[in-house]
Structures are given as structure tokens and as C-alpha cells.
Amino acid sequence: MARHADLSRPGVWRELFAAALTLTDHLGKVLEQPRWTFGGGTVLMLRLDHRHSKDIDLFVPDPQYLGHLTPRLCDTAEALTHDYVEAAEYLKLLLPAGEIDVVVGEPLTDEPHEWVTYEGRRIAVETCAEIIAKKMYHRGQHARGRDLFDLCAVADGEPQAIDHARPFFARHGAAFLHSLKNSAYVEQEFQKIERIGYSRSFEECVALAELILA
């Protein structure tokens, strides 16, 4: 059974999410029925309670959204920070508490999100399947310790999500496994993860990833 995101969970993520919502509220003023979703590692934390995460990942369907959110052009964003990185497919806002990433990317899975009411807003919160599919499809060639940890936490906590995301593993699955076995940095990053309720070791996670991605 899919786990619902616990948006009542305390943590630094709430401060960053409040800032992100000022941006999405701005989108509602300049675009007709803007589409965006809340995903990434922090949503996995809210669903699985597996590791600490605070940064906010928002996904939008079109690069034009970034022009409405960059501090270079948007007073609402400029009020949050002057420190940012802007590219063709993403916008990274650097705040004292952490980062807000706005990434261009259409949904991959058939049921990519659930609707959640939060502080009077209807928010599309991405499913575990959608989050893992995006991680593996878009950046799986560059294995990261937290991506391995997230993959295995989803496999153990919500195995049906792996089945839904599996079609998007083929693109970089072999490269992901190769990186796990040939990069000491991945294990070093893995060991620094601030765990909450998930305890598999690096070796156990590599073995599980081999089963998932084989």
C-alpha cells in the first residue's frame, strides 16, 4: 500500500517549503492554472521516514516557469535570496536554511502524484514511484549515496512502487551499478546520511540494487 506523505512532520523542510509556496503562489498570479509538483528526497522522507532531508524540489512542465521564478526577474524570488543558479532546465535558490530547486520535467509514471491539502492549498505531492523513476531516469548514470539509500528504502518500504518505476531503470541501470562498485565517493557519501528509520548497510544496499536493476 502506498504511504501518504506526512506534511505535519516538523523540521527545517517546513521553513523552506513555506518559502517555496510564496513562489508557487506567485505562479498562480502570472499563469493560468500553473502545474507543479512537490517531489525529491524530502517527500520520500515524509513518506518513508528513512533519512533526514530538508531541501525542496519542485517540478514544472515548461522552462517558461523558470523565468517567472528567477530572482533576476521576480521580486518575490528576490525577496527570498540573491544567491541562485539559473540554467535552461532548472533554477536553484540558495537560502540560509537550505535549497529550493525548481526543475523542468514532465511526469514519468502513470499515477505520478497524490493531491494533499496543506495550509489551504491543494498540492500535488509526488509518489515514491515517480520520485525514484525520475532519480534513475534523469541522473542514474551518476550514482549518489543518497540515491542508492532512497532506492533501497522504497524497495523495502513500498515494493510496489519499484514495479511502477521499473520501466525507467533500464536507461542508466548498468551505469548506476558500475558507479556503485567503482567509486569510493559513493560509499563515503552513503556513510554520511542522517538516518531515521532505515538501517541497511552500504553492502546490503548494493546487493539489493543489483537485484532491482538486473
User: Which tens digits make up the pLDDT trace of 80-112?
Assistant: 999 999 999 999 999 999 999 999 999 999 999
pLDDT > 90: what percent of the chain?
97
Which tens digits make up the pLDDT trace of 4-25?
999 999 999 999 999 999 999 9
Q: Which range, of 53-62, 74-83, 175-184, averages the lowest pLDDT?
A: 175-184
Domains of the chain with CATH codes: 12-126 (3.30.460), 128-213 (no CATH)
Q: Is the pLDDT of residue 214 over 90?
A: no
- Cell matching residue 64: 517558461
Q: In Å, what is the CA distance from 22 to each residue of 15, 68, 117?
A: 11, 12, 16
Q: What is the pLDDT of residues 127-171, one digit of tens each?
A: 999 999 999 999 999 999 999 999 999 999 999 999 999 999 999
**Beta strand pairing status for 90-95 and 98-104?**
antiparallel
Note the pTM of the prediction, 2 decimals. Answer: 0.96
In the sheet that 56-60 helps form, which strands lie side by side, from edge to edge? 84-86, 90-95, 98-104, 56-60, 37-39, 121-126, 113-118
Q: Cell numbers at residue 70, please?
A: 528567477
Judge whether 131 and 44 are in contact, CB under 8 Å: yes
Give the pLDDT of residue 127: 98
